[in-house]
Amino acid sequence: MTEPTEEQIQEQIRQLKIDDVLLQTVVTLVNLSGRRLTVDDEKDVDQAKKGIEAVRALLPLCPEEQVGPIREALSQLQMVYVRETQQPAAGETLKNAANERGLNADGLKDVASEVADAFSNNMSGKQEPGNGTSGNPERPATTDPRF
């Protein structure tokens, strides 16, 4: 394959449109951002976020006929970003905390029940019984100040 001549390069540049370069740039940003979110040895959520923000900024400048597909790709990319960066759900966090403290499911339910009862009583203005127990007389109230 022969290298293009200077004239051929100049002709290609003359024919090049800003819309083409803009579209190629947006496609490159979408693809690169997707890789930064999904390829294990390339993960970099900060770079992905920057790419997403750049696509959002360039979207209004893109050719109208291309906005729909770009917007769809951007939406998918944003969903992957949220999934990759969101914190574990409250239930998962509670389960992990229980496991770290050696609580089984029943122990966790008891603690949650006591906390719920104490919260309800506090909100309704009821006082805890003076005998040092919560609503369950067989189980002593916790001494943990967080409860």
Tens of pLDDT along 91-137? Answer: 666 677 777 777 776 776 676 666 666 666 666 666 555 444 444 44
Q: Are residues 51 and 96 in the same domain?
A: no
CB of 51 closer than 8 Å to CB of 73: no
Q: Which structural domain range is residue 78 located in? A: 6-85
Q: Are residues 40 and 54 in the same domain?
A: yes
pTM for this predicted structure: 0.57
Tokens (6 digits) for 27 = 């496609």
Q: Are residues 76 and 100 in the same domain?
A: no
Tens of pLDDT along 49-83? Answer: 999 999 999 999 999 999 999 999 999 999 999 98
Task: Name 61's Cβ contacts closer than 8 Å, sequence gap at least 6.
Answer: 22
Return the DSSP state at 128.
P
Residue indicated by tokens 């998918």: 76
The CA distance from 15 to 127, in Å, is: 82
Q: Tell me the CB-side half-sphere exposure of residue 129, using CA atoms within 13 A.
A: 11
Tokens (6 digits) for 16 = 């090049």
